[in-house]
Structure 1
């Protein structure tokens, strides 16, 4: 038995619709830029949020302390970031899963101090 042209078009349309809706439903969520305040306004985050966690480039400002500008992944510091204290000193480092790795640079006034971070988390002078 041969299908009618109308029924064939309906079946094709249904399949295309299922595929499109499936793709939309399963597509990974994209980070959304936003600003949120936490801890009764003591901390402010501006940047990307994904699955209710800091994700991508952002700025975390802590009232009366300073701010961190850098990358976040799964709500933690990830990659290169810089913390600038309210009184002016700056610390730049690489982070992995929220932990300092490789080397940390501390800038105080016109002086820069560099320390290498060993596998056990201790610091060694980086000459």
Structure 2
């Protein structure tokens, strides 16, 4: 009868450990599922991207540039203005390392709408309705 009691205690301990392991695994699965479904960060941030080739200071929504911000490039170009879905969109100011600047409207990352291109504080071209008007 002593052997039988010893055997039952071993089985009980084995069952207890398995039960604890199952509970820990269920809690871990629930925790990981919650983290994966957690909403993405939205708010102001300062980020270095592409091995510090891009530096962004501004607002993000769902891991994309959205709202007002400044993007600096490794070649010293800089865009300050509005972003939508990660692209230049709305009013902005682009400064090139070559010395020219564009002040005006952007859509889908491109100069559009109205605006002026200046160099050395002189207007060298204008945009109207998304078309280059010349010098």
In the superposition, the TM-score normalised over structure 1's length comes to: 0.65
Distance 1:53 1:81 in 2: 17
Structure 1: gaps (5+ residues): 1-27
| Residues 1:86 and 2:97 are matched in the alignment | yes
Over 4 Å off, 4+ runs: none
Match of 2:119 among 91, 108, 124: 108
In the alignment, what sits opposite 1:45?
56
- 1:103–1:114 CA contact under 8 A, matched in 2: no
Structure 2: gaps (5+ residues): 1-38
Query: What is the RMSD computed on CA atoms of the aligned residues?
Result: 2.5
In the alignment, what sits opposite 1:4?
none
- 1:59–1:69 CA contact under 8 A, matched in 2: yes
Distance 1:30 1:82 in 2: 26
- Per-residue deviation, 1:117: 4.7
Paired residues, number: 97
Distance 1:101 1:89 in 2: 17
In the alignment, what sits opposite 2:132?
123
3-state DSSP of counterpart to 2:65: strand
- Per-residue deviation, 1:55: 0.6
Distance 1:115 1:81 in 2: 15
CA pair 87-101 structure 1, distance change in 2 beyond 3 A = closer
Distance 2:116 2:94 in 1: 11
In the superposition, the TM-score normalised over structure 2's length comes to: 0.61
- 1:31–1:55 CA contact under 8 A, matched in 2: no
CA pair 125-85 structure 1, distance change in 2 beyond 3 A = closer
Higher helix share: 2
- Offset from partner CA, 1:31-59 (integer Å, 9 cap, x none): 41001111111110100010000010000
